């Protein structure tokens, strides 16, 4: 099967491409820069130069392939709503190019909690991401749309939102969590999350929502404690009213319980995560090494 992958040279996309090629699929990957395209082709994939705001390029890739996996996202959380809108439009361009084909369109969404058969949240000012409704709008137009919901995806170099939390700790000289709140975030290792895309491609059903959750909820306080220990800085609790000033854009996320279950995903797709857990990766994280 020829698979068009957006974000093919990104943190998750690279691992998805590797798994697809190892499974015998042909990969057609989107790359923003010539050097990224060269790296992609060295891995055994074909490259298409462009980005998710180039709708003609997206349509070209979708039409030339048997399936689409959309992992690209503009990770600028200081303009999160704008990035979510760009994602919605990109999915629309991909979907329009696939109408009537019954091709799989697998998009990426965020962790919203609950089980896989729950309805997706309605986009709002507090959570404007519309990946799932944008894709699922094509279900009755002959597109086999599915969604992968990602938690905090980690390895020893990056850890989702925690990567930004580490930078705040370095800048402020203290590692913080929310006072009086049992905030927990679901997590999965990068390679485990990538493997789920392959399983969804080969076994997933139209309208499927799959959770890449290896750990249902890691306490934010324990995350802050390891960050503080590794950096040699105090670990402190912040009141909710202090969050915006201390955490910046992260303040919105710090009080959210981004938990989730993968029980249905494991049963439906046979997904079985094996990678290191989040706290273990943090104990050995390269972005927590002191210079």
- pLDDT tens for 236-258 read 999 999 999 999 989 988 998 89
Residues 285 and 157: beta-carbon distance below 8 Å: yes
- 230 touches 162 (CB < 8 A): no
Kindly report the backbone phi and psi dihedral angles of residue 135, in degrees, each rounded to the nearest multiple of 5, phi listed first: -75, -45
CB neighbours (10 Å) of residue 170?
Answer: 15
Mean pLDDT of the chain: 93
The Cα 30–Cα 124 span in angstroms is: 29
216 close to 259: Cβ distance less than 8 angstroms: yes
Tokens of 228: 């503080």
pLDDT tens digit string along 22-38?
999 999 999 999 999 99
CA distance 281 to 291: 19
pTM here is 0.94
Buried b (16+ CB within 10 A) or exposed e, 238-248: beeeebeebbe
Which residue numbers in the chain have pLDDT < 50? Answer: none
* Tokens describing residue 216: 């249902």
What pLDDT is attached to residue 112? 67
């Amino acid at each position: 099967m020829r698979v068009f992958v957006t974000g093919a040279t990104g943190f998750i996309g690279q691992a998805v491409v590797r798994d697809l090629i190892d499974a015998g699929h042909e990969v057609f990957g989107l790359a923003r820069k010539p050097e990224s395209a060269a790296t992609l082709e060295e891995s055994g994939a074909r490259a298409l130069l462009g980005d998710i705001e180039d709708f003609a390029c997206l349509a070209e890739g979708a039409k030339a392939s048997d399936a689409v996996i959309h992992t690209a996202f503009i990770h600028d959380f200081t303009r999160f709503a704008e990035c979510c809108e760009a994602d919605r439009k990109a999915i629309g361009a991909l979907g329009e190019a696939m109408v009537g084909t019954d091709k799989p369109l697998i998009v990426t969404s965020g962790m919203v909690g609950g089980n896989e058969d729950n309805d997706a949240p309605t986009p709002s000012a507090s959570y404007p991401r519309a990946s799932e409704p944008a894709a699922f709008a094509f279900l009755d137009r002959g597109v086999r749309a599915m969604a992968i919901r990602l938690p905090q995806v980690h390895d020893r170099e990056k850890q989702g939102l925690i990567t930004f939390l580490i930078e705040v700790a370095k800048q402020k000289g203290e590692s913080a969590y929310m006072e009086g709140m049992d905030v927990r975030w679901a997590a999965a290792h990068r390679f485990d999350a990538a493997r789920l895309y392959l399983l969804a491609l080969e076994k997933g059903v139209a309208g499927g929502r799959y959770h890449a959750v290896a750990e249902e909820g890691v306490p934010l306080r324990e995350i802050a404690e390891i960050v503080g220990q590794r950096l040699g800085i105090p670990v402190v609790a912040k009141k909710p009213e202090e969050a915006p000033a201390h955490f910046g854009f992260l303040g919105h996320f710090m009080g959210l319980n981004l938990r989730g279950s993968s029980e249905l995903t494991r049963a439906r797709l046979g997904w079985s995560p094996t990678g290191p857990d989040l706290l273990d990766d943090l104990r050995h994280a390269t972005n927590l090494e002191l210079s």
